[in-house]
Amino acid sequence: MKSFLLVPKESIETQARPGVRGTAQGERVLVRSTALRFSGAQKAPDALTALGLRSATLPGMKPAISGQEPKRRGRGGKKSAPTRGADSSTVPMPGAAVTEQTGSEAGSYRYMPLIGATMAHFYSVDAENAARGELAEDFEFIPDVVPLSFPGPVSAGQTGPRNRGMSSLAQREWPDESGVPLAHAQGIRGAGVMLGILDTGVDADHPEHASKTIQFRYVSLFPNSPHNPARDVRGFDPDGHGTHVCGIAAGVHHGVAPEVDLYAASVIESETIRTSLGRVAAGMEWLLHQFSAPENASRPAVVNLSLGFPLQPPPGISEADYLLNQRALQTMLRRLLDSNVLPVVAAGNSGPNTVGYPAAFPEALAVGAVDFERTVATFSASGAVGRRVVPDVMGYGVNVYSSTERRCNNQAFYERMSGTSMAAPYVAGIAALYRCRAPDLTALDVRDLILANAIKLPRSANHRTGKGLAVFR
């Protein structure tokens, strides 16, 4: 079984177009459009349906047991053989690898119109070849083989132990220079802004988050399977990383923008801290679907991504496939900007002279980490790709206090973590404050504001620090 993201070549090869730089006088924000930018994207699901692949755009019925359905006539009158694999009656053996449930169809697909892509699973080489014959002229077939992972919190041993506690601090720790206390004093707390988080999830019942309604989507290991559908459920987080990120950006007691409406998609497994291009695409499509609902179409939005590709192709992955995965992810970020959503991305924790993706894409607002004394963290990634310098801006990312998890007896934990994964949600919160104060600004206008108002940092011999420390002014 092979998985591919089908993206129109026109979309993946076109450079980002300039976004709308404001609105006519008297108007509010531009309405977020759900119209496809590339009309040819619809051709993929139509062709896959004709080839016998099953749509997973809506949750379907349980699959038929393999080999027990009457054989169907395929294209040209040929009989299509039943598919081998797990089915609805399969009981996995303890310790066995997780396998997607399949029926007797040729494969399955999920059409994602808001990012202009289709994710497809092919259960046989014949099905894949038939699809390539129909679509390869207009679509890139991007193999979903390069793992993404979040930069992971790094050891805070350079500045002290990772302080765990079961109680919240008396007050937020954001310094006055951050502008957060001033914004809150003025009543600017993120109200009206939508903040999307792609991470390990969020504990919706942690005291830091329990008082607000969090829209939550769990994206399954097989996001385009009709037999393992994504689910909208009460928010959970078996890892704690996503809860920590959400707490920094939007926590009620410690968040930079505590009144934002939070949309969290769980796309990263706690055991491997890895995800796939398909799961990120499904999570991003869900966010855009939420943001584009009629009641939300004119509201400002920000998305935080603490994940990325490895710096080099992993063993067994060709350079060509690696680059295709990169370009597909860049196309998704472009779709966010086209939809007036600002993507804020962690730069990574691999230190100076390292540039990862998606932070290196010009569509991203890439964030490095400093401590509360404005000293650049040794782990903060930086570098240059052509004329593109990473990071764009810095955020507090050393020993940052936020929510993590709850125990079985409902005791809630807070923890100090370090990493650009902590700096990025701080900056995402700053962006939300700007979008709260001036909702008619576009995503690119807000990006410009953050860069223009950043506090310049002393030049470092080893690190690049972009425009400096992001603050609210």
Query: Same structural domain for residues 213 and 109?
Result: no
Q: What was the pLDDT predicted at 397? A: 96
Asked if the peptide bond before residue 143 counts as cis, ω within 30 degrees of 0, the response is: no
Residue 243 within a domain:
yes
Same domain, 311 and 419: yes
CATH at 387: 3.40.50.200
365-370, strands of its sheet edge to edge? 215-218, 261-266, 194-199, 301-305, 341-346, 365-370, 393-396
SS3 state of residue 185: helix
- Within 13 Å and on the Cβ side, how many CA atoms surround 17? 11
CATH number of the domain that residue 50 is part of: 3.30.70
Contact 33, 291 (CB under 8 A): no
pLDDT for residue 153: 56
**Residues 6 or more apart in contact with residue 38 via CB below 8 angstroms:** 8, 10, 11, 116
The residue written with tokens 């079984």 in the block is 1
* 153 lies in the same domain as 301: yes
Q: Are residues 392 and 255 part of one domain? A: yes
Q: Are residues 178 and 128 in the same domain?
A: no
Is 27 among the domain residues? no
Q: Other C-beta atoms within 10 Å of 113: how many?
A: 17
Does residue 71 form part of some domain?
no
Task: Let me know whether 122 and 187 are in one domain.
Answer: no
Does residue 189 form part of some domain?
yes
Question: Do residue 112 and residue 195 come from a single domain?
Answer: no
Q: Does residue 73 fall inside a structural domain? A: no
Q: What is the pLDDT of residue 159?
A: 39
Report yes or no on 30 lying in a domain.
Answer: no
Residues 399 and 354 in one domain: yes
| d(C-alpha 189, C-alpha 169), whole Å | 19
Please report whether residue 54 resides in a domain. yes
* Alpha-carbon torsion, ordered 309, 315, 318, 322, to 10 deg: 0
- Cβ neighbours, 10 Å, residue 167: 10
CA separation for the pair 262, 105 (Å, rounded): 37
Report how far residue 92's alpha carbon sits from residue 90's, in angstroms, rounded to the nearest whole number: 6
For residue 29, being part of any structural domain is answered with no
Task: Going residue by residue through the chain, which has 473 residues, state the pLDDT in tens, using 9 for 90 and above.
Answer: 788 999 988 777 665 444 443 333 333 344 555 434 556 788 999 999 999 998 887 443 333 333 334 344 444 444 444 333 444 444 444 444 445 555 567 898 989 888 889 999 898 999 999 999 999 999 999 998 888 876 655 644 333 334 456 667 778 899 999 999 999 999 999 999 999 999 999 999 999 999 999 999 988 776 666 666 677 889 999 889 999 999 999 999 999 999 999 999 998 876 666 788 888 999 999 999 999 888 998 899 999 998 888 778 888 899 999 999 998 999 999 989 988 999 999 999 999 999 889 999 999 999 999 999 999 999 999 999 888 999 999 999 999 999 998 888 888 899 999 999 999 999 999 999 999 999 999 999 999 999 999 999 998 888 899 999 999 99
Task: Looking at the structure, tell me whether residues 9 and 155 fall in a common domain.
Answer: no
Residues 7, 51, single domain; the answer is: yes
Q: 346, 371 in Cβ contact below 8 A?
A: no
Please check whether residues 386 and 260 belong to one and the same domain.
yes
Range of the domain at 48: 1-13+40-59+103-143
Any idea which residues carry the catalytic annotation?
199, 241, 421
- Are residues 338 and 294 both part of a single domain? yes
The number of distinct structural domains making up the chain is: 2
